[in-house]
């Protein structure tokens, strides 16, 4: 397994070093889910085309981490000389009031769920960028320095239709598990995302984006949160098909995907297989995922438990600024123990005051637990990106 992962990393690095033709094709993912292919040649660009291209890049360059903050212009520095062309600083915060009730007790509290400081920039070539995010959330527990560093990577788009990423980031296992918290619809991620993915690791990723297919091939050290130097290796592959791409959004956008993740840490082997579907049409979208793990090394730590879960999320936008959400989420925390499932029936409402940068959120969940008492959870929160 280790030899395979190391060979994979060498292939990724060698691909990035190749020289390609002068014409460059960039696939830009727009906010409504469409993809726009921008074709341009270097070094000649018409002034108006250059202006439009720069606006598109600025809007979407860091969308995998978070949207542009409300003070984006004031916190962005541009350099006329040197290796860095542009640098921006962002502060990301989410906080809320929650009430959890069961048959025996009621618990009301206010929490800062996360507080993050991010540094992002583009190099002079505009084909490479860097991202660093740090975790300043209070009362996390554990080692402060292990929790401090989150994302820390360099990404290159020199290979047409591809992005090569090297550093520390979330593996592309599943849809919601690999997404930044600012981009998910509910306040909390799904149970398979929380338990079977959503853990940053150090390694390399090659992501391909084409009209009918997307894929990711990745290799990592199996350590999380820098807890140990190199306790083992991990690799994964994820593949998405886009069968409606030929109709240019006439019937909406559909992705059907799946992936496999395997690794070893401290002599404990783990394997996860997952499949998922995403579909959006006009003001409606739906996502669904299923995952099964024979051991895992993710959000809730290393374990050899056999677990599985699936979920379905529905969204309707009656107006541009308002989202109405429903979710069913079922998770079996140990397949070797009967009557061990936790089911979450959730409803939510998001009001976008300033795109994803200032959002008011309201969530309700009914938690049906086969081991503990059932409970109800209400959360009123806000996310702010400065």
pLDDT digits (tens, 9 = 90+) for 75-119: 899 999 999 999 999 999 988 888 888 777 788 888 888 899 999
Structure confidence at residue 140 as a pLDDT band (50, 70, 90): low
pLDDT tens, residue by residue, 264-273:
999 899 999 9
Q: What domains are defined for the chain?
A: 2-385 (2.40.160.10)
Structure confidence at residue 361 as a pLDDT band (50, 70, 90): very high
pLDDT tens, residue by residue, 214-255:
999 999 999 988 888 889 999 999 999 999 999 988 999 999
Mean pLDDT of 138-142: 69
Task: Of 35-39, 106-110, 313-317, give the lowest mean pLDDT range.
Answer: 35-39
Q: What is the structure's pLDDT at 55?
A: 39
| Cα–Cα distances in angstroms (integers) from residue 142 to residues 21, 156, 221, in the given order | 50, 34, 21
Q: What is the structure's pLDDT at 299?
A: 77
272-289 exposure pattern, b = at least 16 Cβ within 10 A, e = fewer: bbbebbbbbeeeebbbbb
CA-wise closest residue to 172 among 260, 84, 280, 50: 260
CA-wise closest residue to 178 among 286, 58, 299: 299
Spatial distance between the Cα atoms of 50 and 42, rounded to a whole number of angstroms = 11
Structure confidence at residue 21 as a pLDDT band (50, 70, 90): very low
Q: What is the structure's pLDDT at 78?
A: 93
Structure confidence at residue 43 as a pLDDT band (50, 70, 90): very low
Spatial distance between the Cα atoms of 30 and 355, rounded to a whole number of angstroms = 13
Q: Quick count: other Cβ atoms within 10 Å of Cβ 304?
A: 11
Burial of 191: CB neighbours in 10 Å, binned 0-12, 13-18, 19+: buried
Q: Is cis: bond before 43, omega within 30 of 0?
A: yes
In this model, does residue 295 exceed pLDDT 90?
A: yes
Q: List the structure tokens of 297.
A: 């090394």
* Residue labelled with tokens 């959503």: 198
Q: List the structure tokens of 256.
A: 């059907």
């Amino acid at each position: 397994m280790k030899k395979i992962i190391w060979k994979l990393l060498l292939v990724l690095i060698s691909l990035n070093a190749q020289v390609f033709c002068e014409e460059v094709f960039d696939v830009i993912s727009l906010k409504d889910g469409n993809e726009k292919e921008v074709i341009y040649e270097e070094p000649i660009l018409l002034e108006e085309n250059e202006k439009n291209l720069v606006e598109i890049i600025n809007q979407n360059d860091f969308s995998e981490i978070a949207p542009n903050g409300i003070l984006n212009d004031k916190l962005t520095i541009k350099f006329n000389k040197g290796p860095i062309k542009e640098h921006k600083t962002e502060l990301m915060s989410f906080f809320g009031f929650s009430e959890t009730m069961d048959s025996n007790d009621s618990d009301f509290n206010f929490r800062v769920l996360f507080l993050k400081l991010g540094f992002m920039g583009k190099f002079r070539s505009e084909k490479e960028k860097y991202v660093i995010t740090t975790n300043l959330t209070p009362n996390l527990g554990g080692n402060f320095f292990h929790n401090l560093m989150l994302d820390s990577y360099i990404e290159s788009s020199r290979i047409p239709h591809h992005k090569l990423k090297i550093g520390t980031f979330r593996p592309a296992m599943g849809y919601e598990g690999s997404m930044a918290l600012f981009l998910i619809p509910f306040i909390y991620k799904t149970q398979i995302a929380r338990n079977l993915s959503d853990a940053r690791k150090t390694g390399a990723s090659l992501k391909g984006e084409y009209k009918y297919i997307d894929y990711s091939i990745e290799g990592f050290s199996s350590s999380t949160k820098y807890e140990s130097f190199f306790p083992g290796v991990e690799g994964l592959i994820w593949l998405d098909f886009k069968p409606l791409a030929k109709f240019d959004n006439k019937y909406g956008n559909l992705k059907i995907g799946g992936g496999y993740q395997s690794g070893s840490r401290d002599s404990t082997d783990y394997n996860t297989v997952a499949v998922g579907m995403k579909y959006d049409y006009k003001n409606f979208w739906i996502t669904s995922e299923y995952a099964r793990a024979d051991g895992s090394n993710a959000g809730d730590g290393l374990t050899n438990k056999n677990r599985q879960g699936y979920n379905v999320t529905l969204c309707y936008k009656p107006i541009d600024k308002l989202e109405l959400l429903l979710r069913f989420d079922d998770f079996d925390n140990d397949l070797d123990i009967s009557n061990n499932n936790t089911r979450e029936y959730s409803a939510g409402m998001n009001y976008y005051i300033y795109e994803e940068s200032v959002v008011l959120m309201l969530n309700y969940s009914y938690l049906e637990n086969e081991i503990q008492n059932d409970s109800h959870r209400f959360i009123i929160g806000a996310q702010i990106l400065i």
